[in-house]
Structure formats: structure tokens, C-alpha cells
Structure 1
Amino acid sequence: MRRLLLGALAGAFILSGSLATAQDGGLRAPPTEQVPGGTGMGGLDSPDMTLSEGEIVATVAAFNRGEITLGTFAQGRASSRALREFARSMVSEHTEAGTRMSVLARRLNLTSIEGTESLRLTAEAAATRQQLSRLRGSVFDRAFLDAQIAAHGELLELIDHKLISSAHAADLRTALQSDIRPMVAAHLAHARSLRRRL
């Protein structure tokens, strides 16, 4: 009797999960892992957790590489001319920002160190590229902009709550505040503006 009851409960649990997935078309967002004291943004840990300066360099480089890859892909796939121009400017600006950060890292004698954040950003960019590769036309345009809004918003949070506070060298802090952050904020605003028109 106990086995029968446990089997029925397990079946009901599986069925309820299947029904919920069917109702939302299988597009459920995975739950974000809550870290005590964290921001609730998935990959962002508690604000008091610091990165080494090498990890900061690797994190910014990973984001730039991801945006260059996605922007290059969007230039050939987007149906909107305005979106293709946005993608082209993203590639150019992230390439230039990457070069400036590399020059600064060499000047400060910082070695890029892959860490949790840089690896996560690299994996997220690859997953986004894979998802976007299945889309065409206006559906692609909207999905690309949604991904850009999410990624740039997340990076702003990361810059504000972790990267700047982890940077000990004044020049690195200044680069994050005066170079990287304004570029990311401008791309976020541009993506939001384009998305409102689609």
C-alpha cells in the first residue's frame, strides 16, 4: 500500500511538471540560484566577494569576445537595417574596448586569469549564439535584442557591484568606470530603444 501511495505521488509530481511545461511551451527559465546576501541575478554572487585584478581583466575580455561574436553573427542574420548597424557598432566598440583593456593590463603587468565570471560569460555567449542560430527574420531581431538587453544589464550590475570594488589599481578602476561602463550603458540604452520599435 505504501509503495502504491508513493508511486501515485511521484506520478502526480511528474504530471504536474509536464503540464506546467506544456502550458508555457517548454520555455521555462531555470530558477536562479540564491546566494545568501546575493543579488538574485543568477551568476552574480554576494557583492562582498571580490575578484582578482586578473579575473577582472578576463571577465571584461570574455564579455567583449562574446559581444563581438554575437554582433558579427547578427550583421549577417538581422532583417532590420537599424539592427545590423547596431551590431556593426557593437563589434567595433567592443573590439576597441578589448584593445584598450589589453594595453592597460600589459601596462599594469596584469595577467588574465579565467575565473567563475569569465567562464560563465563565455558559456552564456555560446548558448545565446546557439539559440539565435535557429531563428530568422523579425523573430531573430527581437530575440537578439532581448539577449543584448539581458547581457548588458547583467554586466552593468557586475561592474557596479563587483568589478569596480575589486579593482585595486586606480587606472583599472578608472577604465571600468569611465570607459567600459559608459559603453555598456550606451549599448543597453540603444538595444532598449531598438526593441521598443520592433
Structure 2
Amino acid sequence: MRNYHISVIAVVSVLLFTINCFALEDAQITQLMKTANSGEVDAAKLAVKNSKNPSVKTFAEKMVKEHTENGEKVKTLSKDEKIKMSSSDDEKKLKADTKEKMKGLKKAKENDFDKAYMGTQVAMHQELLDKLDTKLIPEARNPALKSYLQETRAHVQNHLNDAKTIQNELQ
């Protein structure tokens, strides 16, 4: 029985160590949020330029404004809290995924652009919402960063809801 307890403790210790090895640091979380905001702004600027639908264009203008503001917030928070942003595998994957989505949007035919953009917006906001819920908020250690992420989560949820509504209108 004693060997069993020692084995369980060893397995739990290894699991906790492994989880902590893949946990994001505050510096990585801030960089990821900066990258997410930049990707949203880039996609939205393209939509402002290419969209023919007034609802899509209005949504895109809102995304430029709100994601620019949110990007500035994370930069200010990093400076004020002395968190030096650093890259992570999660941030690199987000950057690569965003680049691929932008390629797809740039290739979209004029008649298909609005549907493609709104599909991308639903996907990007859902991915960020999931990451906020499962990784970023739980792993943030700095109280100001955690508060920023919780506030941002509410905005991301609203953006997702708006994107889904417009996407349904385009069907």
C-alpha cells in the first residue's frame, strides 16, 4: 500500500510539473494579446476597404477602433506593471493562423468577401474566447493583467455575438 501512495504522489508531481512547464507567463500572455489585437485590426482594415455590405463595414470599423484601443491597453498595462512582453509557441501559432486567414481574405472574390470576413471573425473571436477561458485568465498571475483579461473577455464575447448575427444575415 505504501508503494502505491508513493507511486501516486510521483505521478501527480510529474503531471503538475508538466502542466507548469506549458503554462504561459504574464509576459507571454501580454504578447499574445498584442498579437491577437494586431491581427484583428489588420483583418478589419481589409474589410473596411473591401466590404460592400454596410453591416460588415460598420462591424469592421468597430473592430479597428476597439482592437486598437485594447492593444494600447495591453501595452500600457505591460509598461505600468513592468511586464516585458515575450513570445511563446501559442503566440507564434496565433500569428501563423492569422497570416493564413489574411491570405484567404485577400484571395476572396469580391462577391464572397463579406461572408469570408465574417466567417473569419466568428472563428478568430471564438478561438480567442476559448483561449481566454481555458488558458490566459487562469494562468495570469498579475492582478492587473487578470482584470484586463476578464474585461477583454466580455468584449470578445460581444464581438463574437455581433459577428454571428451578421454572418447569419449574410446567409
Residue in structure 2 matched with residue 187 of structure 1 by the alignment: 159
Which residue among 135, 145, 148 is the counterpart of 2:118? 145
| Structure 2 residue 70 is the aligned partner of structure 1 residue 111 | no
Percent identical: 28
Displacement, 1:79?
1.5
Higher helix share: 2
The Cα RMSD (Å) is: 1.5
Residue of structure 1 in register with 2:94 after alignment: 121
Gaps of 5+ in 1: 1-45
Q: Aligned partners of 1:162 and 1:120: how far apart in 2? A: 15
- Number of residue-to-residue matches in the alignment: 152
* Cα distance in structure 1, aligned partners of 2:20 and 2:161: 24
User: How many angstroms apart in 2 are the aligned matches of 1:129 and 1:80?
Assistant: 19
- Which structure has more RCO (C-alpha within 8 Å, separation ≥ 6)? 2
The corresponding residue for 1:65 is 38
> Whole-Å Cα distance in 2 between the matches of residues 189 and 47 of structure 1?
33
Structure 1 residue 88, shift from structure 2 partner: 0.6
Match of 1:34 in 2: none
Q: 1:79-102 CA distances to partner (integer Å, 9 max, x unpaired)?
A: 101101100110100000011111
Q: What is the one-letter code of the residue matched to 2:49?
A: G
Question: Whose radius of gyration is greater, 1 or 2?
Answer: 1
Contact 1:78 1:140 in 2 (8 A): yes
Query: What's the TM-score, normalizing by structure 1?
Result: 0.74
The equivalent residue for 1:101 is 74
1:164 aligns with 2:142: no
Q: TM-score, normalised by structure 2?
A: 0.85
Structure 2, unaligned runs of 5 or more: 1-18
Superposition deviation, residue 120 in structure 1: 1.2
Shift of residue 122, structure 1, vs aligned partner: 1.1
Q: Tell me the CA shift for residue 47 of structure 1.
A: 10
Question: Which residue number corresponds to residue 14 of structure 1?
Answer: none
Other structure's SS at 2:107 match: coil
